[in-house]
Structure 1
Amino acid sequence: MAESPLHLGIALDRAGHHPAAWREPDARPEELFSPDYWAGQLAEAERGLLDLVTIEDSFGEDGAGEVTGRLDAVLIASRVAPLTRNIGIVPTAVVTHTEPFHLSKAIATLDYVSGGRAGIQVQISAGAQEAALFGRRAGTENNARLFAEAADYVEVLRRLWDSWEDGAEIRDAATGRFIDRDRLHYIDFAGEWFSVRGPSITPRPPQGQPLVVSRTGSLGAATDLAFLTPADRSDAEQRIAELGADRPAHVFADLLVFLDEDAETARERRTRLDALAGPARTEAATFTGTAAELAGLLLDWRAAGLSGFRLLPASIPHDLRRITRDLVPELQRRGAFRSAYEASTLRGLLGLPRPANRYAA
């Protein structure tokens, strides 16, 4: 029986995931805060038929010599979504310091703007320095409590997305009834961190439930997709086994990539960037080599139980283009990647059904 094609995503972060990426000859640091820069990255990723892009975000400070400042990921996503047609768009939100009602509305809006291609990457923040930006909590909680809070946050998001049944908007001009109030529901969520009555003020999103993503498996089946950071295939097998039966529908491995026509050039570029600003600060394993070598590694790691990979381009546009124009054709030649988009929603691309509404009779 033939294996299912690989799923591929890209993590977009300013000039790339190496702190010195903005100093590369083909980088465009003067455009980092322009909409055209982000639109170009999304267009390139879609050119490569990728499943999704994540747009990275945080409240933390950047190191010396790095790009300083960043745009809001959710707002970037809303700006560029209408310029794309097929690729999934998954901005990052730091849920430790934000409110689920606001985020549920923003991501529901993104799902409408994109025609059903939205997701949200849930991220925690444990640092006291980041907490001080808001002044509402000490920032000294341990990660276990922060992930427990994030799990409640996701539950509130999902309930709010379901608080309008499908077809709740009846738009009956003759009677003056725009909505059927019997199809709107209070969610009445009460927990340690949140007490939210609802309902949302935004109708149920096109996907029913936009994709919920996390960077570890700590939220279990509360999410649809988890990004793991294994060191190798054996480590991937162990991490997937640790997730157990309560794991998300999809598990991708994160991999930082330096890609070139030959491995020696890739190694030289990595060495040069490291000399400028030190190695990239990431938990992800790092691959340095050619597209053919990377294709072989991805297919080997897939046997550990991974359904896909999220690739972190070390520098943009260089490594992003190597992924879309070299790696994707190599995977296609091996029969391991799509030759055309086969669905119009992000859930469809990942083979996930549109969930039923929990409140519908």
Structure 2
Amino acid sequence: MSKMMHLGLFVTAAGHHAGGWRHPDAAVSDPLDPDYYQSIAQKAERAKLDMLFIADKLAIDDNYGSSFEMTVTHRPSLSAEPLTLLAALSAVTDKIGLAATASTTYNEPFHIARKFATLDHLSKGRAAWNVVTSTSDAEARNFSKLEHLDHHARYDRASEFLEVVRSLWDSWEDDALLSDKEKGIFADKDKVHYVHHQGEWFNVRGPLNVQRPPQGHPVLIQAGSSGPFRDLAAKYAEVIFTAQPNFESASSFYDDFKGRLQALGRSRDDVKILPGTMLIVGHTEREAQEKERYLESLIHTNTGLAFMSGSMNYDLSKHPLDEPFPDIEHAIRGSRGRFQFVFRKAREEGLTLEQVARWYIASRSHHIVTGTPETIADRLEQWFRGGACDGFNLMAPYMTDGLDDILERVVPELQNRGLFRGDYSGVTLRDHFGLKQPVNRFAQTAMR
């Protein structure tokens, strides 16, 4: 059987194109309407997608001019808390994976281990954790901090955080829970373990008060592209989300990351790489191009400036819009990896700050594919067959027509070409991705 691509759905209430929420056909939805999200989840499950993915940020961006007026006025800012939402969606779906973002900078390991273990149990083995370190001072100020941790410190904390969480998931062995009524023994005491972690950032005794998740560990996802990110993800991740605007950058990232896996003794197949990809679908090429141009006309420049300022953790309002994009690569304190391409593009093409802001915010430097279902499938196949990815994290430009175009027209075309599954063959998210169940470290130690 030939290798098939993996497809996730990057879920937002309003779609991903910066102008999409203003489209006349866009759904005007309450970002906390459970029926709306249920409809999206069930559509994606009918299309046999691997998973739903929900991102998260712990603040409304206010870095641009110390105001969030443009963020709130011109771009949907409200969003559901991912774990709560996915717990609700686990009750109305059966097979599709459920991936939530949670920060290692503004949580504690015990909280995260417990919440994702619970979601994995509620969903019968469909949970995934997208591990992020957060980006901005706006988030720090919501957690009693004056400023965000620097890049090195937050990745150092994240590494230790992951070690603690994985230990907590292993603190109950798979067969520790006995529930023996006759003997009055609830659990085998020899198969429930203290963690006794003592490190630079955390001191955690354990054990977890939730038994081991059905998948052993919920699937670990990481999103990014910087050097420190790649080092951390090569050690821990099982799925990678990355922003790669063209085939060359995607292929370079893919080769570099797969090489890092092998250097650590991991198989290239141990991690699936899914670039974020926005699909703008038309019945003809001309219609699709017109749709993209119209969406671009709906972008407000200040939305891009506010979003970039938040992601960079740097206030762009101090620079003139009509002058060349400023040389600030050394000054940003937020996301780094995805902006390396942005800085290079600005230099090479001589773009102004305004031009960069409008280009960036359209898709946040993710890959955009515009065309008919057939030509879009051609491009996705080229990336997949050409060694640039293991699949895609699909992004609808606006809701819900833009999503329906993807699920009802593009995905069937991929299925017809034998590039994507026609039905689920397993029940857990690890089954969908072909990922191994982690060995319990405490059980493994006891066997030695």
Match of 1:293 in 2: 375
Query: Does structure 1 residue 184 correspond to structure 2 residue 192?
Result: yes
Choose the corresponding residue for 1:341, options 424, 430, 436: 424
| CA shift digits 1:166-211 (9 cap, x unpaired) | 1111101122221112111111222222221111000000111110
| CA shift digits 1:269-316 (9 cap, x unpaired) | 232232223442513122222221121111111122521111111112
CA distance in 2, matches of 1:184, 1:51: 32
Q: SS at the partner of 2:441? A: coil
1:263–1:188 distance in 2 versus 1, CA, 3 Å: farther
Q: SS at the partner of 1:277? A: coil
- How many residues are paired up? 359
Match of 1:23 in 2: 22
TM-score (norm 1): 0.94
CA distance in 1, matches of 2:240, 2:253: 11
CA distance in 2, matches of 1:236, 1:168: 44
Unaligned runs of 5+ in 1: none
CA RMSD of aligned residues (A): 1.8
Query: Does structure 1 residue 208 correspond to structure 2 residue 242?
Result: no
Q: SS at the partner of 1:97? A: coil
Match of 2:78 in 1: 69
User: Highest Rg: 1 or 2?
Assistant: 2
CA distance in 1, matches of 2:191, 2:29: 49
Match of 1:175 in 2: 183
Match of 1:326 in 2: 409
Q: Map 1:47-62 onto structure 2 (within 5 A).
A: 47-61=46-60
Query: Does structure 1 residue 354 correspond to structure 2 residue 440?
Result: no
Choose the corresponding residue for 1:95, options 104, 108, 118: 104
Match of 1:40 in 2: 39
Identity of matched residues, %: 33
Q: Do the aligned partners of 1:19 and 1:67 also contact (CA within 8 Å) in 2?
A: no
Query: Does structure 1 residue 231 correspond to structure 2 residue 253?
Result: no
Match of 1:245 in 2: 260
Match of 1:257 in 2: 279
Q: Do the aligned partners of 1:119 and 1:211 also contact (CA within 8 Å) in 2?
A: yes
1:300–1:30 distance in 2 versus 1, CA, 3 Å: closer
Query: Does structure 1 residue 9 correspond to structure 2 residue 17?
Result: no
CA distance in 2, matches of 1:331, 1:207: 28
CA distance in 2, matches of 1:292, 1:281: 22
Letter in 2 for 1:350: F
TM-score (norm 2): 0.76
Query: Does structure 1 residue 274 correspond to structure 2 residue 356?
Result: no
Q: Do the aligned partners of 1:155 and 1:222 also contact (CA within 8 Å) in 2?
A: no
**More helix by percentage:** 2
1:105–1:225 distance in 2 versus 1, CA, 3 Å: same
Letter in 2 for 1:298: L
1:126–1:224 distance in 2 versus 1, CA, 3 Å: same
Match of 1:195 in 2: 203
Unaligned runs of 5+ in 2: 62-70, 262-267, 301-360
